[in-house]
Homo-oligomer: A and B are copies of this chain.
Amino acid sequence: MDFGIDDQQRKRLDTIAEFVREELEPLESEFVGKSFRALVPTLEEKRKKVKDLGLWAPHLPEEHGGLGLSLVDFGMIAEELGRSPVGHYVFNCQAPDAGNMEILIEHATDEQRAKYLDPLVRGEIRSCFSMTEPEYAGANPTQMGTTAVKDGDEYVINGRKWFTSSADGASFAVVMAVTNPEAESRYMKASQILVPTDTPGFNLVRNISVMGEPGDDYASHAEIVYDDCRVPIDNRLGPEGAGFMIAQQRLGPGRIHHCMRWIGICERAFELMVERAATRELYPGTMLGDKQMVQAKIADSRAEIDAARMLVLRTAWEIERSGQKAARIQISAIKFYVANVLQNVLDRAIQVHGGLGVTDDTPLAYWFRHERAARIYDGPDEVHKSQVAKKELAKYREDK
């Protein structure tokens, strides 16, 4: 084993780290206090700088304008970007666009690429992924009420979706809809369909108020009603019935992205916590950090963050070496493990800040409330734990 980082990657990371600290961290309070839309012009300037640095879309293969990195190397970058709530956005590797780019690269026709992928990669448009439904448990993605029925050379889509993140201002949605209700396997019933958001029948009902904030533009989660929404059959991404299969492909790398982003948040929160503890006087001569209960929070966080990072990078390496299927226990494990580390670290950082911690004078309260969802989205802790256990148990059952 070699835990070393090669020189090129080291240099890349240093450049990005400096950029994040100098260009993005100063935007924290604006991000928390303003609408996202108001921040977009500033972010566009930052995006230009990223392009100039040659660091644009770092998750993509070189032939698609990215950096052609291994998943491990991109993971480390995702951590650095995670330190700022706008880090991934500014580098154009933000969810859900990053995942959408990946499945478009894999499955899009030439027309689809030209219309959807290319401007997405260039950062000219945004997209969304419209899967979760309020009426069905998200923990079980094979249950779905939204249908796409063929009518001539069109699909007619009907259904209600929510938590379609970033739909507000997006150019198109990748919609999961049941196209083959009679398929034998429940994993073969749905397809993914590209739906421009200006299509009649695409109704953005509301930006859901999440943790007190409906948000706007990229920073929002929409409820969408598809009401006889018609798109050409050519808008289907990949084969009919392949919706889940494609969604699965999106998962492994996306999991690494999320987890490393969370670890970036952890490191930023850790930094704020330690700085506060080191510099806040409790009473003359005694700093907050002199108190063991504060020290315990720092030490537990240090160990947990470092352990989490290694677990994720190890998983990234395994995905690349052996494929997603071989790594599926770890892909589930990092999801709940890191999300819980994240919640704990943020909680401790807030506690160490005292009253300041619950204000929006630091980004901690933002992350505390909005990353509570980390233990829910992409499958709640409970589902992932059950899956890890079932796979471990299966080893013994096969043996017997």
Chain A, interface residues (CB within 8 Å), range: 35 or more
In the complex with contacts A139-B354, A354-B139, A392-B293 CB distance below 8 A: no
User: Is the CB of A380 closer than 8 A to any CB of chain B?
Assistant: yes
Q: How far is the CA of A283 from the CA of B77 in the complex (A)?
A: 39
A 350-365 to B, binary, CB cutoff 8 A, 1 in contact else 0: 1100111111110001
Stretch at the interface among A166-174, A190-198, A228-236, A308-316: A308-316
In the complex with contacts A211-B212, A279-B396, A351-B375, A386-B314 CB distance below 8 A: no
User: Is the CB of A337 closer than 8 A to any CB of chain B?
Assistant: yes
User: Is the CB of A150 closer than 8 A to any CB of chain B?
Assistant: no
Decide: A212 and B366 in contact? CB cutoff 8 A: yes
User: How many copies altogether?
Assistant: 4
In the complex, chain B residues whose CB is within 8 Å of the CB of A313: 1, 3, 310
Decide: B358 and A368 in contact? CB cutoff 8 A: no
User: Is the CB of A317 closer than 8 A to any CB of chain B?
Assistant: yes
Decide: A351 and B376 in contact? CB cutoff 8 A: yes
In the complex, chain B residues whose CB is within 8 Å of the CB of A280: 137
Minimum CB–CB distance from A267 to chain B (whole Å) comes to: 12
User: Is the CB of A67 closer than 8 A to any CB of chain B?
Assistant: no
Q: How far is the CA of A357 from the CA of B4 in the complex (A)?
A: 41
A 161-196 to B, binary, CB cutoff 8 A, 1 in contact else 0: 011000000000000000000000000000000000
Q: How far is the CA of A233 from the CA of B292 in the complex (A)?
A: 42
Please tell me which one of the listed residues B278, B307, B387 contacts residue A310 in the complex, with CB atoms under 8 A apart.
B307
Decide: B274 and A302 in contact? CB cutoff 8 A: no
User: Is the CB of A152 closer than 8 A to any CB of chain B?
Assistant: no
* Residue of A139, A283, A296, A304 most packed against chain B (CB within 10 A): A296
Give the secondary structure class of A's interface: helix
Stretch at the interface among A20-28, A51-59, A109-117, A328-336: A328-336
Decide: B358 and A282 in contact? CB cutoff 8 A: no
Decide: A376 and B358 in contact? CB cutoff 8 A: yes
Minimum CB–CB distance from A11 to chain B (whole Å) comes to: 16
> Chain B residue with minimal CB distance to A208?
B359
User: Is the CB of A5 closer than 8 A to any CB of chain B?
Assistant: yes
In the complex with contacts A283-B143, A307-B307, A333-B303, A373-B386 CB distance below 8 A: no
Please tell me which one of the listed residues B288, B330, B334, B336 contacts residue A137 in the complex, with CB atoms under 8 A apart.
B288
Minimum CB–CB distance from A346 to chain B (whole Å) comes to: 10
Decide: B291 and A382 in contact? CB cutoff 8 A: yes
Please tell me which one of the listed residues B162, B321, B381, B389 contacts residue A298 in the complex, with CB atoms under 8 A apart.
B389
User: Is the CB of A285 closer than 8 A to any CB of chain B?
Assistant: no
In the complex, chain B residues whose CB is within 8 Å of the CB of A287: 393
In the complex with contacts A296-B385, A389-B295, A369-B302 CB distance below 8 A: no
Q: How far is the CA of A356 from the CA of B354 in the complex (A)?
A: 29
Report 6 cross-chain contacts, Cβ distance below 8 Å, ordered by A residue: A2-B2, A137-B281, A137-B283, A292-B292, A298-B392, A299-B386
Q: A277-B393, A302-B333, A368-B372 are in contact. List 20 more A-B contacts (CB 8 A).
A: A1-B5, A4-B321, A32-B209, A140-B282, A211-B358, A212-B360, A212-B365, A212-B366, A275-B396, A277-B389, A279-B396, A289-B389, A295-B389, A298-B393, A303-B334, A303-B337, A303-B388, A354-B380, A355-B373, A357-B376
Q: Which 7 A-B pairs have the closest CB atoms?
A: A295-B389, A310-B310, A292-B292, A278-B396, A299-B385, A299-B388, A209-B360
